Amino acid sequence: MNNKLYILSFIFLTLNISDRLFSQENTNIKIETAGFFDKDNKKFPNATVLTRDNLGQVVITHEGVKMWCNQAFFYEDKNFIEAYGNVILKQGDTIDLKSSYLEYNGDSKLAYAKGNVILKEPTSTLYTESLFFDRDIQEAYYNNHGKLIKHPSDTIVSDQGRYFMDLKKYRFKENINLKTPKNDIYSKKLDYFTESGLAYFFGPTDIFSEDTKIYCEIGYYDTNNDVGYFIKNAQIDFNDSEIKADSIYFDNKINYAAATNNIKITDTINKTTTTGHYAEIYKSIDSMYITKKALVASYQQKDSIYIHSDTILMTGNEENRIIRAYKNAKIYKADLSGKADSIHFNRKSGIAQLININDQLTNPFIKTKKPILWNLENQITGDSIHLLFNIDNDQLDSLLVFNNALIINKDSLGTGFNQISGQKLYGNFINNELKKIDIIKNAESIYYLRNSENELVGIDRSKSGKIKILLDNNSIKKFIKINQIDGNTYPEDEFLEELKFLKGFYFREEEKPNSIKDLFKDDPKLILTKIKSLQIN
């Protein structure tokens, strides 16, 4: 074909194609520019071959998209294009698709790209080997591995992915790995919003950072702000502790977590397990606040101590740990339990303080309840009670009761009560067992005397400067009065009612916790917060 005939034929074909395109109400593919064309039904049945020249690529448009390529096969009767070589498809200023090969159907508005596919939108770039683009519903998807880079920080790889253009959201499936500057996230199904950096998980998900591991089966992570929310088997593992709860909010920037419902926090360094239904944990400063049936179990060599209250606050590292329990605080171990308005434990000093608020200051008709301890069958009260622990082995060492100390022990066979009172009480423990008690200043006692046959032989009531008691297996072996100033032993029938009780007597056996379950028996009814599932578009 000579040059003149070539040019005339090209003009004629171009005019003919243009007329047919416009005759179908702007639904047909339009060839904007082509350097060369070839139409050979034997070689390329029903196709027009359009090829670039030195001035530029073949340019094709269709209803808001523009395409460039080095060569195109245009099947006009099918409204279909096959494009080869440095293919580019642009949709406005939102989508830029590049590939080695592209198929595009003008009727269905479905595109298929293959070979070094790159899909760009304003905030992210997707790399894959093949991609389907459905313009009718504005979705693109791949089934053979892809890599998304969200500028400037996040990278996501997965076996399958779908991009919802109107929502600016990707949905990834199978073998997903989302990398952020601080985290490595693995999931089975993940929705990712390219503008906000929000990643939503559906299915088993692991999140790893330098010193933290997170697991959940439903949740989201804000990669822009480095915060997340996790539900369904939610768990956070730090280097030395573990948090489990129905839901957990986590701020990685400040190492802060807030947990709700069925919380269990295991601290391997401090050898404690903490439970409750709402907690806030500040890991960087070793601080934790927990409420709603809060309980701290501290494990020792042979026994464990449990502290329960409405609210518990723990601060400080292992050596400087302080536990503050307040509002109806209780303590329990196998042979020792106690109750007070608040309990304060300082690990560094080894002192646990039981403190009560004087309700009579606000209501004089309320009977004041002092802090109370039960050591086996002994009830011990006073204005303030201190338990001292040996910080080397976590065993009980001493007991101190300040002001209005009173010990009550029910007579083993009768209805009376052995009682000892004084200004102060000092007790000593050996192997966690109370062995010696000293009552200092203004000591008074009532003691039911029994012979070797356990027969009551008299009731002793006396006053002394000091009383020393030696115990073994919870039995009094020696009862020594020092500087006795008054006293008498009464036969049972002569022991008048007004003599039976020392000042401040208040027997509170019904309050004694005899098990871990008993720590909660007078708590108000708790209605747990309803955990809602994640709602996304």
- CA atoms 80, 86, 89, 92: torsion sign: negative
Please tell me whether residue 511 adopts helix, strand or coil conformation: helix
**Residue 82 lies inside a defined structural domain of this protein:** yes
Please tell me whether residue 448 adopts helix, strand or coil conformation: strand
**Residue 35 lies inside a defined structural domain of this protein:** yes
Domain that holds residue 87: 1-108
Identify which has the larger pLDDT, 159 or 301: 159
The answer on pLDDT for 7 being more than 90 is no
Average of pLDDT values for 501-529?
90
Q: How many CB atoms lie within 10 A of CB 280?
A: 15
Query: Of the candidates 501, 462, 494, 495, which has an alpha carbon nearest to the alpha carbon of residue 479?
Result: 462
Name the band, by pLDDT with cuts 50, 70 and 90, for residue 2.
very low
Provide the Cα torsion 271, 275, 279, 282; round to 10°. 10
Name the band, by pLDDT with cuts 50, 70 and 90, for residue 94.
confident
Please tell me whether residue 528 adopts helix, strand or coil conformation: coil
Average of pLDDT values for 240-246?
91
Q: Does the predicted model carry a pTM greater than 0.85?
A: no
**Residue 300 lies inside a defined structural domain of this protein:** no
Q: Are 307 and 298 in contact (CB under 8 A)?
A: yes
**Residue 37 lies inside a defined structural domain of this protein:** yes
Q: Are 53 and 71 in contact (CB under 8 A)?
A: no
Distance CA 76, CA 41 (A): 13
pLDDT at 452: 81
Average of pLDDT values for 64-90?
95
Name the band, by pLDDT with cuts 50, 70 and 90, for residue 536.
low
pLDDT at 359: 52
Q: In the chain, helix, strand, coil percent, each to 5?
A: 10, 60, 30
Provide the Cα torsion 66, 69, 75, 78; round to 10°. -40
3-state SS, 63-109, equals CCEEEEECEEEEEHHHCEEEEEEEEEEEECCCEEEEEEEEEEECCCC
Q: Are 331 and 338 in contact (CB under 8 A)?
A: yes
Please tell me whether residue 40 adopts helix, strand or coil conformation: coil
Q: Mind giving me the DSSP string for 348-381?
A: TTTEEEEE---GGGT-TTSPP---EEEETTEEEE
Bond before 181 cis per omega within 30 degrees: no
Tens of pLDDT, residue by residue over 15-36, are 444 443 444 455 899 999 999 9
The enclosing domain of 39 has a CATH number of: 2.60.450.10
Structure tokens at 225: 């702000």
pLDDT at 80: 95
**Residue 70 lies inside a defined structural domain of this protein:** yes
Q: Mind giving me the DSSP string for 223-249?
A: TTTTEEEEEEEEEEEESSEEEEEEEEE
Q: How many CB atoms lie within 10 A of CB 404?
A: 18
**Residue 287 lies inside a defined structural domain of this protein:** no
**Residue 29 lies inside a defined structural domain of this protein:** yes
Average of pLDDT values for 210-215?
90
Classify residue 462 as exposed, middle or buried by CB count within 10 Å of its CB (0-12, 13-18, 19+). Answer: middle
**8-state DSSP, 439:** E
Structurally, the chain folds into a number of domains equal to 1
Residues 6+ apart with CB under 8 A from 387: 338, 351, 352, 354, 373, 396, 398, 399, 400
**8-state DSSP, 457:** E
**8-state DSSP, 412:** S
pLDDT at 358: 60
Q: Are 81 and 60 in contact (CB under 8 A)?
A: yes
Tens of pLDDT, residue by residue over 135-147, are 999 999 999 899 9
Name the band, by pLDDT with cuts 50, 70 and 90, for residue 433.
confident
**Residue 22 lies inside a defined structural domain of this protein:** yes
Identify which has the larger pLDDT, 311 or 11: 311
Name the band, by pLDDT with cuts 50, 70 and 90, for residue 400.
very high
pLDDT at 280: 94
